[in-house]
Structure 1
Amino acid sequence: MTSDEDSTTEPPRTSRAAAKAERRQNLIDATITSIAKYGLSGTTLARVTDIAGTSIGLANFHFETKERLFEAVLTHLADEQRDLWQNRNLDASLSSADRLMAIIDSRFHSRICDRKKLAIWFAFYGDAGARDIYRKVVGDLDDELLEATVAILKLMIDEGGYTGIDPMETALALEAMYDGMWLNMLLYPDEFKRLDCRRRALQFVSAILPRHFQPATDRD
């Protein structure tokens, strides 16, 4: 006869891993909510766990420190944006214009342009003490995205026979425009709607690369 201990069915490892990942993501989501409402300085592990409905002990188990939690939040947001444009660019049949459009769409996707998430980016931009965390976590993504944009622009310039266009300067201008649109969406949500900002970005590239782009209707 088997003992009670021997007969106990152990939950599948996948179930435990999924539960652990869910608890971890719950803490990340709670941190996003806290930073958006209280800022970086007002976000503590106690406040995060209160929003998440869990214990500080669990937060310490997953992240050890508030700084590690902040790094996890930035990693989550960066991966979310990277996945949007990289997954589309896996299609080898895409044209150069489609590839640049994938990057533009990733910047103005509904999942990215959530006002709480936008608030996170600007919280890290504006806090002197948090910029090192930003550079550590997101610096590679920024470089990767800039390099990809420059490579696409070089191809488009060659294809279209454009003259007087510097791909690096154009890529940097696009990055500045994205950030400016995000800031306006955060500060003036009634005046700067996500799809309107996407349309303005498309108008910009249409003016520079008219043989590749025509103003298009809004789409996700």
Structure 2
Amino acid sequence: MPKVGMKELREQQLIDATLESVAQYGLHNTTIVTISRLAGLSSGIISHYFGGKQGLVDATVKHLLSQLKVALLEHTQDRVLTHEQRLIAIIEANFSQTQRSVAATKTWLSFWAQSMHELGLARLQHINNRRLYSNLLHSYRHILDSESAVIAAKQTAAMIDGCWLRSALSPRPEEEFSQALALCKKFIKDLLAYSA
């Protein structure tokens, strides 16, 4: 009889190994063998828990998305925030350490590229885009008129994604991520000051 919690532990081991494999070899060269070797588990367990490599890749992307949600909750839960502070918290969550680690950045970059070719990943990308936009729009609607709020949410989402991407591709990503975080925060402050 399997131990209680063993399934969740093994699944997390495989997700962590997938992140590490993508960081080392890229998504295209990540295989069931590279993942199972890094996880220290048999390759058959991947099929058992995830149905194969693609199922594990999907689960890994969902893990990154859930980490993004957790980061946002850490910045907002049980706190009384102004709408501007909530916008800043959204930015901080998108630039949290979990989202800018080497393993996460390489996986996100591979995921974005592959989502153009795989329906399941495209769906996850659409969910991620909608969630960011919806979170931003919710706060902007309390500060700006309806049309301005839509424009501001789209601009801010583009600013976050663009700055994150440029930072991830930089030869000095840690320095660039810190600057990008500051730039995105300034963007919101300037936008709101201009709109006041």
TM-score scaled by structure 2?
Answer: 0.87
Where do 5+ consecutive residues of structure 2 fail to align?
A: none
Q: State which of 13, 18, 24 in structure 1 corresponds to 2:11.
A: 24
Query: What letter matches 1:210 in structure 2?
Result: A
Q: Which runs of 5+ in 1 are unaligned?
A: 1-9, 159-163, 213-220
Deviation (angstroms), 1:87: 4.6
More helix by share: 2
Q: Which amino acid aligns with 1:83?
A: V
**Structure 2 equivalent of residue 185 of structure 1:** 167
Number of residue-to-residue matches in the alignment = 195
- 1:169 counterpart residue number: 151
- Counterpart selection for 2:56 from 66, 69, 93: 69
- In structure 2, relative to structure 1, the CA distance for the partners of 1:203 and 1:34 (3 Å cut) is same
Q: Could you say if the C-alpha distance between residues 39 and 129 of structure 1 is closer, same or farther in structure 2, counting changes exceeding 3 Å?
A: farther
Which structure 2 residues correspond to residues 81-92 of structure 1 after superposition, within 5 A?
81-91=68-78
Cα distance in 2 for partners of 1:211, 1:22 equals 50
Task: Kindly provide the CA deviation profile for residues 160-206 of structure 1, in whole angstroms up to 9, marking residues without a partner as x.
Answer: xxxx9722222122222222222222221426432221101111111
In the alignment, is the contact (CA less than 8 A) between 1:82 and 1:141 conserved in 2? no
CA shift, 1:140, in A, is 2.6
Equivalent residue number for residue 209 of structure 1: 192
- Cα RMSD over matched residues? 2.6
Q: Deviations over 1:121-153 (max 9, x none)?
A: 111211366542223334334313211211211
Where 1:61 maps in the other structure, the secondary structure is helix
Counterpart check, 1:43 vs 2:27: no
Amino acid at match of 1:95: T
- Contact 1:115 1:185 (8 Å CA) reproduced: no
**Percent same amino acid among aligned pairs?**
25
